Structure 1
Amino acid sequence: MTTSTPLPHDLLWLIDAPGFARANTLPAWASADWLAQAPLVVRRDGASAGRIPVGLRGTTRAQRHAAWLPATQVARVATPRMIARQARWRDHPRRAALPALAALARVAPLLDAAQANWGVTGSVGFTLAIGIDVLHAGSDLDLLVTAATPLSAELARALAALLDDAQARIDIQVATPFGAFALREQVRTGHRVLLKTATGPVMSHDPWQPLP
């Protein structure tokens, strides 16, 4: 059982999948057998003592369900950065046929060269973490860049250039100490972004400053 506090986008495996399934009203696709192999995704929500806000994922985009997980149910955690460091896309049998994986193979060296603190989320991260392929030709590549301080101009330019990938849609979320925002939105607006926080989305001109 992990003792650290999971962060949004972390993947959590259950200690007792049948027990969790019995304790919650879940959709039919979220069976105990599925939950025994598929991790839950930490989501942003208000604080709850001893419970973690999570999202359940199935094999299709329509299969999503929000729930709360007792912290004592966490067997192990995989962070987006851990998934990136494992680089399992290199051995994926469909890496050449799936634009999202081909894009990841291209951008990973660029992100490392830019010294970004980055990880893989979304359906690509889920697939790489569990070894069950839920990807299709139209799957996006979702990346998370964690930055305790504002991005340098050089890193911001390098990340923005990735958004124009011709073969796959790449979405980059930047996590600050106060929330997370979509880089694509910041590039479009110049500064103002919708900052996702544990208490809900708020507009921010500087996502590295405390909210009023």
Structure 2
Amino acid sequence: MTTSTLLPHDLVWLADAPGFARVNALPEWASAAWLACAPLVVRRDGASDARIPVGLRGTTRAQRHAAWLPAAQVARVVTPGTIARQARWRDHPRHAALPALVALARVAPLLDAAQANWGVTGGAGFTLACGIDVLHPGSDLDLLVTAATPLPAELARTLAALLDDAQVRIDIQVATPFGAFALRERVRTGGRVLLKTVNGPVMSQDPWQPQP
């Protein structure tokens, strides 16, 4: 496994959780037992084929930790797109009680109909991918839309309309070949956005063009 096959927001499971915990200075909550079950999230950062930038997450927002993962440690990968296609929110025991999952069930058909290349990230993606429920009634719904070229007008309108959901905050990140930006910010500014790149954040008027 090399970094060229992994993208930000992909979830990876460790091949040797005790070994990873042993050689890294980790917070107390990130035990080997936790890491044996909980996937790590690929971060956007400079990397090599030997090391993958990842983020560890626990059960609360305060439990976050950045680390570097040897490529040989990757045992399994689940992408945001795979989580969307599996549609496991339908079978989640609290699917009717969690606004994020209620919203996900509502917007998924709209995204599919709009032919968006989309996936689920954040707490909802983590919960649906590994079965460890970190969602609560106030959880946002985080979505990722991958677009190699500028969003078609109809798709852009469909996505922008989702940002006005009255039941839950829906955050949509759009990934381009050069980085990713928050759709909410682009709707607000009409153009200029903060683009997250492997070399750090930059302001961009056109996220589909190479950054200076």
Q: Could you say which TM-score interval applies, normalised by the shorter chain?
A: over 0.9
Secondary structure at the counterpart of residue 158 of structure 1:
helix
Residue 179 of structure 1 pairs with residue 179 of structure 2: yes
Secondary structure at the counterpart of residue 47 of structure 1:
coil
Instruction: Find the aligned partners of 2:163 and 2:206 in 1 and give their Cα distance.
Output: 21
Contact 1:89 1:95 survives alignment (8 Å): yes
Instruction: Find the aligned partners of 2:4 and 2:191 in 1 and give their Cα distance.
Output: 33
Instruction: Find the aligned partners of 1:125 and 1:90 in 2 and give their Cα distance.
Output: 13
Summarize deviations over 1:31-74 as a string: whole Å, max 9, x none: 00000000000001112341000000001110000000000000
Residue 151 of structure 1 pairs with residue 146 of structure 2: no
Instruction: Find the aligned partners of 2:71 and 2:44 in 1 and give their Cα distance.
Output: 15
Summarize deviations over 1:123-174 as a string: whole Å, max 9, x none: 0000000111100010000000000000000000000000000100000000
Contact 1:2 1:76 survives alignment (8 Å): no
Provide the residue aligned with 2:114 in structure 1: 114
Provide the residue aligned with 1:26 in structure 2: 26
RMSD between aligned residues: 1.1
- Structure 2: where are the runs of 5+ without partners? none
Instruction: Find the aligned partners of 1:101 and 1:65 in 2 and give their Cα distance.
Output: 26
Instruction: Find the aligned partners of 2:49 and 2:89 in 1 and give their Cα distance.
Output: 37
- How many residue pairs end up in the alignment? 212
Instruction: Find the aligned partners of 1:103 and 1:170 in 2 and give their Cα distance.
Output: 8
Instruction: Find the aligned partners of 1:114 and 1:136 in 2 and give their Cα distance.
Output: 29
Residue 198 of structure 1 pairs with residue 204 of structure 2: no
Residue 165 of structure 1 pairs with residue 141 of structure 2: no
Instruction: Find the aligned partners of 1:185 and 1:2 in 2 and give their Cα distance.
Output: 32
Report runs of 4+ in structure 1 exceeding 6 Å deviation.
Answer: none
Secondary structure at the counterpart of residue 174 of structure 1:
strand
Residue 90 of structure 1 pairs with residue 90 of structure 2: yes
Residue 18 of structure 1 aligns with an amino acid whose one-letter code is P
Moved more, 76-85 or 2-11: 2-11
Residue 78 of structure 1 pairs with residue 83 of structure 2: no
Provide the residue aligned with 1:45 in structure 2: 45
Residue 175 of structure 2 aligns with an amino acid whose one-letter code is A
- Structure 1: where are the runs of 5+ without partners? none
Instruction: Find the aligned partners of 1:3 and 1:30 in 2 and give their Cα distance.
Output: 23
Provide the residue aligned with 1:141 in structure 2: 141
1:4, distance to aligned residue in structure 2 (A)? 5.7
Summarize deviations over 1:62-109 as a string: whole Å, max 9, x none: 000000000000001000000000100000111111000000000000
Residue 131 of structure 1 pairs with residue 145 of structure 2: no
Contact 1:146 1:175 survives alignment (8 Å): yes
Contact 1:143 1:171 survives alignment (8 Å): yes
Provide the residue aligned with 1:62 in structure 2: 62
Identity %: 86
Residue 164 of structure 2 aligns with an amino acid whose one-letter code is D
TM-score (norm 1): 0.98
